[in-house]
Amino acid sequence: MAQVVVTITTKPQDFPDGVVAGVIRVSLNTGQTQDVTGLTASFSDIPPGTYSAFAKLLDSAGNKLGDAVSAGFTVPVPAPVVNTLQVPDTVNVTVT
């Protein structure tokens, strides 16, 4: 399982006078969604696989403003844990 941090960049876009920005809705195609007022969202316990992250600006009433943006990403399968043990290598016998 991985923690995924989605970072959003913004650009200026004109809207009619009186339109007020609310939050940025960030979601993964896992069904997880967060509304953020900043430019990052963190998601925990994401299993290995290929996913997409989406972000869209909402106005103060919850209506979408502008176009949603997305990016694909992959959570890799963790490397197997290796347990190194010391095993016999050689035996020397001395008889006197």
Q: What is the residue-level pLDDT of the chain in tens, covering all 96 positions?
A: 999 999 999 999 999 899 999 999 999 999 999 999 999 999 999 999 999 999 999 999 999 999 999 999 999 999 888 888 888 989 898 898
Residue 4 burial (10 A CB sphere; 0-12, 13-18, 19+): middle
Supply the pTM of this predicted model: 0.80
Beta strands across the sheet bearing 33-36: 33-36, 21-28, 49-59, 64-75
Q: What share of the chain is helix, strand, coil (3-state, %, to 5)?
A: 0, 50, 50
Domain covering 2-75, topology = Immunoglobulin-like (2.60.40)
Rounded distance between C-alpha atoms, residue 51 and residue 71, angstroms: 9
Domain spans in the chain, listed from the N-terminal domain onward: 2-75
